[in-house]
Amino acid sequence: MLPRGPDTPPNSPPPGPSEDGVALSEAEIAVHWREEERYPPPPAFVAQANLTDPTVTERFSEPHFPECFGAFGELLTWDRRWRQVLDASNPPFYRWFVGGLLNASANCLDRHLAKFGSKPAFLFVPEPESEPTTALTYEELHARVNETASVLRTDVGLRAGDRVTIHLPMTPELPVTMLACARLGVVHSVVFGGFSGEAAGRRAADSGSRVLVTMDGYYRNGRLLDHRSLADATVESARREGQTIDTVLVWQRHPDRYLSASPPVPGRDRLFADLLRGRRGTRVPPVPMPAEAPLFLMYTSGTTGRPKGCQHATGGYLAYVAATARWILDLRPSDVYWCLADIGWITGHSYLVYGPLALAATSVLYEGVPTFPDAGRPWRIAERLGVNIFHTSPTAIRQLRRLGPEAPAQHRLRFKAMTTVGEPIEPEAWRWYYTSVGRGAAVVTDTWWQTETGGFLCSTKPALDPMKPGSTGPALPGIYPVIMDENGREIPAGANRAGNLCIRNPWPGLMSTIWGDPERFKRIYFEKYNRRPESKDWRDWPYFAGDGAVQSADGYYRILGRVDDVINVAGHRLGAKEIESACLTVPEIAEAAVVPVADELRGRVPELYVTLRPGIVARPEIERKVVRAVETEIGKIARPRAVRFVSDMPKTRSGKIMRRVLAAISNTLEVGDVSTLANPEVVEQIRAQVRGASPGPARPPPDDLREFGTTE
């Protein structure tokens, strides 16, 4: 199915039914904003930038591929240098820096000690304003990582190649645990702290983790959350999937207190405080790992209910995030950098932990939500700590703007560079960010990438390319995108026509495979546009990103959204199938369908349609059960905006639920031709019901969203 793009006149009918007639994708719901004016990079930024050489694109052009990426490898310290930059003999499985040995924690810590040992690696800002900010220097971080690695190796018996599931909030213990794993060559799998115990358990089972790392509690939005209590559900849900978690390691948010209402389980739970006693000063030598050894898994949602464990390789990944942090974030050891993303998502891994630490940067690590206790909080923190690089999502920008449009003006902000990531940003919100937060003196980069890609793929080169609100920018040096139509034909470059964004070549940050399922990796990302399955030439294996996009004549890409069953809620990826399976755990529910709905603040939010089992009558209690089931199985982030009880779902003759029809109704778009449905009459019923529930033609679209064109 193809998204509609700017080439579609605003009032033309929506696209016809997709191939299988099932989904209406995010990209199709987006009627994208028009082309905007361009802003030159601020001269003061250019004067000090890391990447100012205009020949970089040429140096990373196809004739120089893949050797050009050797320069990325040079940013790292190797125990044994690589023999070959890329082994592409078995596409789409690529090996970067073949023959090289390195350790990620040594690259992030040990090699900086001589020069930057006493410089903060992290400035930890607790959510309660009464708690002081603490600085963790490179020396201190190194010490804590070593002591923790010693626990993992000696007390828990972990060895290189083992997997560990980490379910932690945004406190220093999270990067400490990740780096302790990396030091031993243990593969970490961090699950977003806001995910439920059940969700963490399913991921732990898939990765084969017998160890879970958690924390007693933490502060979020003014409340103390009992986090340790989730661990029981994690262990139980992993057990149901056949995986025993025999050890639960518990950090304490305050070393002298135990915050959780659920006591440690004897024989299974162990407090780090006990294990670390007497370990002060312990050193654990970093284990040299082959470049292609997995550094971590990051689970992400796709079209099926089963989350995919994206497996990232030590050498290629680390080289890619270090190089792109340097070029695009313009990061250096002298900067104070703040990325608001949670480490539990890929942005936090790449651009709060591995990229910045590989470059010896100083980063702010903030525990809480940006708008607590008010929308001035980020600006107070930035002013006090002298933050000069700021990195956040469009959702956070929209929220901060809505709750405190004037707040940035009350502070002395000194940003030189600001980044947005995770969702398309409306030009309106972009302009506020640029003008009110950046004062027109900071460069803004809109970076497009994915969990799978390890690091940025599209963005402006901050000192070299003009900015254009609403567009991510051209591809990064060494990345060769192409937009394909549904029939496998390339849409000519710069044609301004919507299609599926693909990358023609491999790059060092590209995930190596899906954990335990290489066939699925090949099928999901590479089969769609591969014409010669037996080919051993990477040129035959374009990477299918799952996003709709258009490219304008100037080479900039505008991202329209997902073309698959993924819903991007506030910049966080959720699988439609996962949400639906959660609903089906409620015994009264017969069928469930979830659709993305445009939302003023969060970009997209899920809305649910359900049918009930025979004899069951809709009542508020069932709705509450459904919402609770979604929160329990996934987490609060997936909470639906509405649960709509319908008598029947619109279905194809083969019995598939037509989510696209429901999505059109929820977004007050035209439903298009429904005459081929098995039950076309339900469409009108559902539409009347939804309209009745929210009276009027549709809520007038909020200013920010006017361009989404969600009114009929």
Applying CB under 6 A, the residues found at the interface with ligand WTA are 300, 345-347, 421-424, 446-451, 472, 546-547, 559, 561-562, 568, 573
Q: Identify the bridge partners of residue 163 per DSSP, sorted by sequence position.
A: 187
Closest residue by Cα to residue 514 from 310, 235, 341: 310
Which H or E run includes 28? Answer: helix 26-29
- Comparison of 155 and 554: residue with beta carbon closer to ligand WTA: 554
- Comparison of 78 and 351: residue with beta carbon closer to ligand WTA: 351
- The CB density around residue 450, as the number of other CB atoms within 10 Å, is 18
CA distances from 48 to 52, 119, 166, 363 (A): 9, 21, 38, 19
Closest residue by Cα to residue 318 from 339, 291, 336, 300: 291
Q: Does residue 315 sit in helix, strand or coil?
A: helix
CA distance 282 to 261: 32
Token pair for residue 33?
Answer: 């904003």
- Distance of closest approach, residue 471 Cβ to ligand WTA, in angstroms: 9
CA distances from 341 to 25, 125, 583, 638 (A): 25, 14, 28, 17
- Distance of closest approach, residue 300 Cβ to ligand WTA, in angstroms: 5
- Distance of closest approach, residue 1 Cβ to ligand WTA, in angstroms: 15
- Comparison of 224 and 637: residue with beta carbon closer to ligand WTA: 637
CA distance 229 to 248: 12
- Comparison of 32 and 210: residue with beta carbon closer to ligand WTA: 32
Length of the chain measured in residues: 712
Q: Computed from CA positions of residues 609, 612, 616, 622, in that sequence, does the dihedral angle turn out positive or negative?
A: negative
- Distance of closest approach, residue 296 Cβ to ligand WTA, in angstroms: 14
- Comparison of 478 and 575: residue with beta carbon closer to ligand WTA: 575
Closest residue by Cα to residue 353 from 317, 299, 385: 317
Which H or E run includes 324? Answer: helix 314-327
- Comparison of 138 and 456: residue with beta carbon closer to ligand WTA: 456
The 10 Å CB-count burial string (b at 16+, else e) for 665-687 is bbbbbebeebeebeeeebbeebb
- Distance of closest approach, residue 391 Cβ to ligand WTA, in angstroms: 11
- Distance of closest approach, residue 30 Cβ to ligand WTA, in angstroms: 10
- Distance of closest approach, residue 600 Cβ to ligand WTA, in angstroms: 17
Q: φ and ψ at 203, to 5 degrees? A: -70, -40
- Distance of closest approach, residue 549 Cβ to ligand WTA, in angstroms: 9
Q: Computed from CA positions of residues 261, 371, 456, 575, in that sequence, does the dihedral angle turn out positive or negative?
A: positive
Longest dimension (CA), the chain: 74
| DSSP string over 25-94 | -HHHH--PPPP---BPPPHHHHHH-S---TTHHHHTSGGGTTGGGHHHHTTS--SB--SEEEEEEETTEE
Q: Does residue 531 sit in helix, strand or coil?
A: coil
Which H or E run includes 149? Answer: helix 138-150
- Comparison of 250 and 559: residue with beta carbon closer to ligand WTA: 559
- Distance of closest approach, residue 21 Cβ to ligand WTA, in angstroms: 23
- Comparison of 559 and 669: residue with beta carbon closer to ligand WTA: 559
- Comparison of 381 and 425: residue with beta carbon closer to ligand WTA: 425
- Distance of closest approach, residue 39 Cβ to ligand WTA, in angstroms: 17
- Comparison of 345 and 366: residue with beta carbon closer to ligand WTA: 345
- Comparison of 442 and 559: residue with beta carbon closer to ligand WTA: 559
Q: Does residue 278 sit in helix, strand or coil?
A: coil
Q: Does residue 127 sit in helix, strand or coil?
A: coil
H helices present in 438-560, as ranges: 518-526
- Distance of closest approach, residue 199 Cβ to ligand WTA, in angstroms: 15
How many Å separate Cα 265 from the centre of its chain? 33
CA distance 196 to 198: 5
- Distance of closest approach, residue 393 Cβ to ligand WTA, in angstroms: 9
Angle (nearest 5°) at CA 436 between 433 and 439: 100
CA distance 625 to 582: 11
| DSSP string over 505-527 | S--TTS--EETT-HHHHHHHHHS
The helices-and-strands tally (H runs, E runs) of the chain is 22, 31
- Comparison of 286 and 546: residue with beta carbon closer to ligand WTA: 546
- Comparison of 291 and 559: residue with beta carbon closer to ligand WTA: 559
- Comparison of 6 and 120: residue with beta carbon closer to ligand WTA: 6
- Comparison of 243 and 450: residue with beta carbon closer to ligand WTA: 450
- Distance of closest approach, residue 603 Cβ to ligand WTA, in angstroms: 9
Bond preceding residue 481 cis, omega within 30 of 0: no
Burial zone of 100 (CB within 10 Å; 0-12 exposed, 13-18 middle, 19+ buried): buried
- Comparison of 448 and 609: residue with beta carbon closer to ligand WTA: 448
- Distance of closest approach, residue 88 Cβ to ligand WTA, in angstroms: 24
Token pair for residue 609?
Answer: 């349609």
State the amino acid at position 19 in one-letter form: E
State the amino acid at position 514 in one-letter form: I
- Comparison of 174 and 328: residue with beta carbon closer to ligand WTA: 328
- Comparison of 547 and 607: residue with beta carbon closer to ligand WTA: 547
Q: Computed from CA positions of residues 59, 61, 64, 65, in that sequence, does the dihedral angle turn out positive or negative?
A: positive
Whether 396 and 377 have beta carbons less than 8 Å apart is answered as no
- Distance of closest approach, residue 425 Cβ to ligand WTA, in angstroms: 7
Pairing of strands 223-226, 187-190: unpaired
Radius of gyration of the chain (CA): 25
